[in-house]
Structure 1
Amino acid sequence: MSDVKIFTYEEIAKHNTREDLYMVISGKVYDITAFVDEHPGGEEVLIDEGARDATGPFDDVGHSEDARELLDKYYIGDVDPASQPIAAPSTTNNVSSSSAPQGNALRILVPLVIIAVWVYFRFLA
């Protein structure tokens, strides 16, 4: 049996920059630093959701099975079950530490832009 490293939310919250970014999904800790440039949704969403439990946003996006399997590559340990989630420090300049409204707006805005482009080329171009 291999030893699994256990992280507290306090430890995870310290890894909150583009150059050092951890994320929790379903109780597992991932060092996604190397993935920031590769993320198809852009780096901003990872940085906004990084350094904390991102299970909800990860599931809400509806990631493919391939994306879920890719997590294995970045797995570094588990969250200490006795640890309590804490608010991660903001990594953006002069922006509220709550990124939920930004993330929700982005999730709404992107499909609307796609629909608008489709309508333009289908009916107006």
Structure 2
Amino acid sequence: MPTLSKLYTMQEAAHHNTKDDCWIVVHNKVYDVTSYLDDHPGGDDVVLAATAKDATDEFEDAGHSKDARELLESFCIGELDTSSPLIPELEISSKRQPSDFALKLKNLPKQYWAAPVAVVGISVMVGFLCLRKK
């Protein structure tokens, strides 16, 4: 088996998720199966649903034959770079930074608060008056 020199991240492979450009990842290898989609016995939808993730479990659960496994190898374009994280790092924001919503709420003019406060106040008064009459 030839040595594969090209390494791909999961993010790179995930970008190829359409009928016109379809890559899948099985057993840490990256396969460009675009040209095979129309010939896949299970239909192209099955293959397209396996993009943008590690499709090893789906591939194994389908019970592919030895011939199918050999055919898959012919589409191999490289290996998955397992040293890179599968999920991009998330940026953690400080709790001290107020959210955009909090800033907008704080900056609202006081006139926008008058109507809701008046409605609530009137509702409470009407409620008390109704309870007193009973």
**TM-score of the superposition, structure 2-length normalised?**
0.60
Unaligned 5+ runs, structure 1: 87-125
Per-residue CA deviations over 1:24-75 (Å, capped at 9, x if unaligned) read 0000000000010000001110111123210000000110000000012100
The runs of 4+ residues in structure 1 deviating greater than 4 Å are none
CA contact (8 A) 1:21 1:47 kept: yes
Residue type of the alignment partner of 1:21: C
Unaligned 5+ runs, structure 2: 88-134
CA contact (8 A) 2:11 2:52 kept: no
Q: CA deviation at 1:2?
A: 4.9
Percent of residue pairs identical: 47
Match of 1:22 in 2: 23
Match of 2:69 in 1: 68
**Aligned Cα RMSD in Å?**
1.8
Match of 1:37 in 2: 38
Q: How far, CA to CA, are the matches of 1:85 and 1:46 in structure 2?
A: 20
- 1:37 partner SS: helix
Change beyond 3 A, Cα 1:79–1:35? same
Q: How far, CA to CA, are the matches of 2:22 and 2:8 in structure 1?
A: 14
Q: How far, CA to CA, are the matches of 1:41 and 1:13 in structure 2?
A: 21
Match of 1:77 in 2: 78
